[in-house]
A and B are shown apart, each in its own frame.
Chain A
Amino acid sequence: DTAVSQTPKYLVTQMGNDKSIKCEQNLGHDTMYWYKQDSKKFLKIMFSYNNKELIINETVPNRFSPKSPDKAHLNLHINSLELGDSAVYFCASGRANTGELFFGEGSRLTVL
């Protein structure tokens, strides 16, 4: 039973398109995150939600919009995709007081 699941695992699309990545966690955590991992494996936090409320919004283009319909789901929508958006996007969840994060398997986005 997967704890943090993301779909799709792979996404190949053309520049200018709009795409979404979905994330769900069944761990009962209050906080969910999106991280972006570039080709050099550097992980950068993008967004964080706590109980459906946005608490972290790093310097990310407005083309990226997270949505949390409930505390078990955090989706990421990307408009007008650019070549530089190609990366692996990781969803994670955790409890604020423990610090430990649980990661999904990642969604590899390739923009052509």
Chain B
Amino acid sequence: SQQGEEDPQALSIQEGENATMNCSYKTSINNLQWYRQNSGRGLVHLILIRSNEREKHSGRLRVTLDTSKKSSSLLITASRAADTASYFCALTPSNDYKLSFGAGTTVTVRA
């Protein structure tokens, strides 16, 4: 399959803690993206990291990419209740232009 697989499926943390989720994939990629989906809403793009990049930051978000291990991680620092959502990795394979999504990690931030 060409989609990523997120791990863990679900994560529950206390407000202020960091949340880390991982995405593993099996094919060569052009880029990998992370999206957030709040309950009952559409997906919102967070970060895109290209295959020749190793790390990107955006506010409290940090994404890493290890193409040798075919994995990426998303770190949310100093989590807030508003970070409660599902987080999806999506990748574009090298031999394709379709963006394929995994099943997501559901993050719950407890106040």
Contacts and interface: CB of A to CB of B under 8 A. Distances in A.
A99 to B, nearest CB: 5
Contacts of B43: 43, 90, 92, 101, 103
A37 to B, nearest CB: 9
Interface string B1-43: 0000000000000000000000000000011010101001111
A112 to B, nearest CB: 20
Interface stretch (B52-60, B67-75, B76-84, B93-101): B93-101
B97 A96 contact: yes
B101 A99 contact: no
B108 interface: no
A75 to B, nearest CB: 17
B65 to A, nearest CB: 14
Interface in A66-112: 90, 92, 96, 98-106
